[in-house]
Amino acid sequence: MKKVTLLIIISFFFLISACSVNPFTGKSTMALVSNSELFPMSFQEYDSFLKEHQVVRNTSEARMIQDVGVKIANAADIWLKANGYPNYLEDYNWEFNLVQDEQINAWCMPGGKIVFYTGILPVAKNEAGVAAVMGHEVAHALANHGQQRMSAGQYQAILGMIGSTALSKNPQYQQVFEQAYGVGSNVVGMLPFSRKHESEADKIGLTLMAIAGYEPLEAAHLWERMGQLNQNSPPEILSTHPSSQTRIQNIIQWAPDARREASKYK
């Protein structure tokens, strides 16, 4: 019992001491892993990924990815400086690459390392669609979602260890707990956590693309096209992402605020 109590105290200490407030959300978030530790690992993994995949260079599409990425990153810099965070991006190292792959996907690693797959370009359809995807991915980096997911995973493991340790004298109950906790903590904890991050990135991304000069409602049109391709997606409650319809509804609701915010910087 003393061991369990000690684990609870340690985990509580980590939770309350390893938090930071993000300027884009205004919320206190878990940061068990610092950016000074995370960014170098991220940069190294990104470089390794590029060496192992076919990077598209010197085409009009590759240049568009670069140009839109710079515009969105500059929009973030404008917003941060105007809102009292002039040094927020000093450790970021933006990089935007197009990779030959039919997957309909794009992703961002902590610190600003972004990949677009060629498969997403027909769905993005035009530069504004690319800006919608880029704004979303840049927003993930700015909101430190990678850091938060890693921290949440560590905290999930700590809580699981506490429960398992508490039941160590009852192996049968311990096994049942471990199985139930694995499923339950994902459905009730990690999946909603991930969906919340996706919605945050959508909202922040709208503001960034608006500041960069793009119409934020283009993001809704993007998700209409994505929805047509993802008609067999799992129920939202079992997914890491909100449904396309949820995203469209949110974007329509948030677009006027994004335009108003962008108007401050013209």
Would you give the distance in Å from CA 198 to the centre of its chain?
Answer: 6
128 or 235: which leads in pLDDT = 128
* Pairwise CA distance, residues 162 & 2, whole Å: 11
First to last CA, the chain: 61
Which one of 32-46, 62-76, 185-199, 240-254 scores highest in mean pLDDT? Answer: 62-76
Overall number of domains in the chain: 1
Once rounded to an integer, what is the mean pLDDT over residues 102-114? 95
Residue 13 lies in a domain: no
DSSP one-letter string for 68-95: HHHHHHHHHHHHHHHTT-TTTTTT---E
pLDDT band at 38 (very low <50, low <70, confident <90, very high): confident
Is 90 exceeded by the pLDDT of residue 206?
Answer: yes
Angle of helix 191-211 versus helix 145-166 axis, rounded to 10: 170
* Pairwise CA distance, residues 239 & 195, whole Å: 8
Once rounded to an integer, what is the mean pLDDT over residues 103-132? 96
Task: Give SS3 for 234.
Answer: coil
Is 60 exceeded by the pLDDT of residue 3?
Answer: no
Q: Which long-range contacts (CB under 8 A, 24 or more apart) does 183-187 make?
A: 185/156, 185/159, 185/160, 187/237, 187/238
Domain range enclosing 242: 42-263
Residue 24 lies in a domain: no
Residue 12 lies in a domain: no
Residue 15 lies in a domain: no
pLDDT for 146-168, tens place per residue? 666 665 555 555 554 554 555 55
Is 50 exceeded by the pLDDT of residue 2?
Answer: no
How many other CB atoms are found less than 10 A from the CB of residue 31? 19
Residue 149 lies in a domain: yes
Percentage of the residues of the chain whose pLDDT score is greater than 90:
58
169 or 126: which leads in pLDDT = 126
Residue 137 appears among annotated catalytic residues: yes
Q: Which of 137, 198, 200, 218 is catalytic?
A: 137
Which two tokens mark 14? 């980590």
Residue 243 lies in a domain: yes
Residue 19 lies in a domain: no
85 or 232: which leads in pLDDT = 85
Cβ atoms of 251 and 259 within 8 Å: the answer is: no
Residue 21 lies in a domain: no
Output the pLDDT for position 148.
64
Once rounded to an integer, what is the mean pLDDT over residues 94-98? 98
